[in-house]
Amino acid sequence: MEPYQFAVWCDRAVEKIAYRPDRMAVRAELLDHMEEKLADLAAQGKPLREAEAEVVAAMGDPVPIARDLGRLHRPFWGYALRATRWILVLCLVAMVVSALGFVDSWPKGEDTFAQGFYETDQADSDRVCTRDLYPDVSATSDGYTFTVTRAVEWRRENGETGQPVYDFYFTVAVFNPRPWAFHTDILREFSAVDSLGNHYAAYWDAENKDIPHVRGNPVRTGYFTIEHNMWLSGYVSQEAQWIELRYQRAGRNLVLRIDLEGGEGT
């Protein structure tokens, strides 16, 4: 336990330091110095109370020392450092929350329907879900990871001819480990082909939008992940075994194969 005289002197010497962390650090330093001096005097054989009084006297008047320490330890930089730390912590928390926001919460199962992009009201729609897949297939290029998280095939009736028409929707999540970099727009350059040889042009290559092509829009953006809801315009692959999304440009060869039969990606 620190001597009472030392405690009183140290408290008065640091009372003008406005920033508490600095005040406590300086107080500890002063107290250590006084206790070292006390130990030296005790080793010389001086009585404890006499040694304590001599140490306090040697330290001088704490009032002018307090004024000098108050001027030396301005609180601005201390508070600025503390604020910077809190801002950094909040930014990290926001980034983690944003990243966790893309955890797949869609229900899985033959008879379940996801919300949003995949949702349909069976009372008001003639759409029937013929395939509900969770391929979880990925490919990586230039630091970006592309993952097909879900794919759904619907069957509906053509209002004019009464013939069945099929639609194919899928979601691609693009993971970017560098939040300071721009998210890639490479998905607009993905084409598709199925096991039967049917071809779907990339969106930017399909000058005539009446031909089968790949389409999509970004729907959720975070620090690390952006999700795209996509579909095949002019879908004719209902008899196919698989569909491959392909990007083959500038020396890059990305392939995402969606297995249409087993429900699992390859």
Q: Please write the tens of the pLDDT for every residue from 126-142.
A: 788 889 999 989 998 88
Beta-strand runs (E) in the chain: 128-133, 137-141, 144-157, 164-175, 191-194, 199-200, 213-221, 225-233, 242-249, 252-259
pLDDT at 80: 66
Higher pLDDT, 111 or 228: 228
**Between these two residues, 163 and 264, which has the higher pLDDT value?**
163
Where does the chain hold its CATH 2.60.40 domain(s)?
104-259
pLDDT at 214 over 90: yes
pLDDT confidence bin for 143, thresholds 50/70/90 = confident
* Mean pLDDT confidence for 198-218: 87
Task: Give, in order, the Cα–Cα distances in Å from 257 to each of 99, 184, 212.
Answer: 25, 20, 18
Is 185 or 172 the better-scoring residue by pLDDT?
172
Q: Tell me the per-residue pLDDT of 66-104, one tens digit each, with 9 for 90 and over.
A: 988 888 776 666 666 667 777 888 777 766 655 554 443
Cα torsion angle, 17, 22, 25, 30, sign:
negative
Q: Tell me the β-bridge partners of 227.
A: 173, 220
- Domain made up of 104-259: CATH architecture: Sandwich (2.60)
Residue with tokens 């196919």: 240
What are the pLDDT digits (tens) for 15-74? 988 878 888 889 999 999 999 999 999 899 989 889 999 999 999 999 999 988 888 776
